[in-house]
C-alpha cells in the first residue's frame, strides 16, 4: 500500500474512532506510522482527505460493477446486476459513506464529488451506448448514466444509510429500483 493510501485509511480509522472534529493530523499520522510532515506532502488539511477517501469508494463501486455485470447476460439481467452491485457496495461500506457525506459537506471539496464519479458515469454511458438498440428511442446516454447512478445509489442509501430497514425491505427496494430503471429505459 502506498503512503497516500495508508494515510487515507488511517484517517478513516481515526475519524470513525474520534469523530471529525476531535481528530488531529497527529492522530492520523500516528495511525499510519508516518511522520507528520509526510501528511502535508499529500494533503493540506485533515478535511482534504475526504475526496481521496471518496475516490477509493468510487473505485470500489466501479470494480464491483465490472466484476458483477456479465456482458453476455440478457439486458434485464445486466440491469439487475448493476442495481445489485451498487446496493451491495452501499451496504458493505455504509459506515464509510455516511461518514464521507458528513465530511464532504464540511469541506470545500464537495464540488469534486461529481468529478470523482466520472469513471462510473463513463462505464455506464458505454453500457447504455452498446445496448442502445434495446432501449427507448432517443436516449441520451451521458445524461441517463448520471440519472441512473443517482437513482440507484439514493435507493440503496435510503435502506442502508438513512433507516434501519429489514433485509426484506432492502430486497424489495432493490427489486423496485430494477423495475423503475427498466421502465425508464424502455426495456
pLDDT at residue 4 tops 80: yes
Integer Rg of the chain from CA: 18
Residue 157 has a pLDDT of 87
| CA gap 131, 127 in Å, rounded | 6
Burial class (CB in 10 A: 0-12, 13-18, 19+), 120: buried
Mean pLDDT (whole number) for 94-118:
70
**The most confident of 1-10, 13-22, 90-99, by mean pLDDT:** 1-10
Full-prediction pTM beyond 0.85?
no
In this structure, of 23-27, 74-78, 105-109, 174-178, the range with the lowest mean pLDDT score is 105-109
Residue 112 has a pLDDT of 67
**Domains of the chain, CATH where assigned:** 1-46 (1.10.10.60), 50-185 (1.10.357.10)
- The grid cell for 72 is 453476455
pLDDT at residue 34 tops 90: yes
| CA gap 112, 50 in Å, rounded | 10
pLDDT at residue 117 tops 90: no
Amino acid at each position: 500500500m502506498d503512503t497516500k493510501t495508508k494515510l487515507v485509511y488511517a484517517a478513516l480509522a481515526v475519524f470513525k474512532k474520534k469523530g471529525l472534529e476531535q481528530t488531529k493530523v497527529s492522530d492520523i499520522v500516528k495511525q499510519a506510522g508516518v511522520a507528520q510532515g509526510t501528511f502535508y506532502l499529500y494533503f493540506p488539511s485533515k478535511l482534504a482527505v475526504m475526496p481521496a477517501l471518496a475516490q477509493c469508494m468510487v473505485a470500489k463501486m466501479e470494480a464491483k460493477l465490472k466484476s458483477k455485470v456479465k456482458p453476455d447476460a440478457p439486458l434485464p439481467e445486466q440491469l439487475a446486476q448493476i442495481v445489485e452491485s451498487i446496493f451491495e457496495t452501499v451496504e458493505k461500506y455504509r459506515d464509510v459513506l455516511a461518514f464521507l457525506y458528513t465530511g464532504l459537506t464540511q469541506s470545500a471539496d464537495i464540488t469534486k464529488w461529481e468529478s470523482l464519479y466520472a469513471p462510473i458515469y463513463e462505464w455506464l454511458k458505454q453500457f447504455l451506448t452498446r445496448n442502445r438498440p434495446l432501449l427507448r428511442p432517443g436516449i441520451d446516454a451521458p445524461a441517463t448514466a448520471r440519472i441512473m447512478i443517482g437513482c440507484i445509489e439514493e435507493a440503496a442509501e435510503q435502506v442502508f444509510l438513512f433507516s434501519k430497514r429489514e433485509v426484506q425491505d432492502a430486497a424489495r427496494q432493490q427489486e423496485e429500483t430494477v423495475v423503475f430503471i427498466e421502465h425508464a429505459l424502455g426495456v
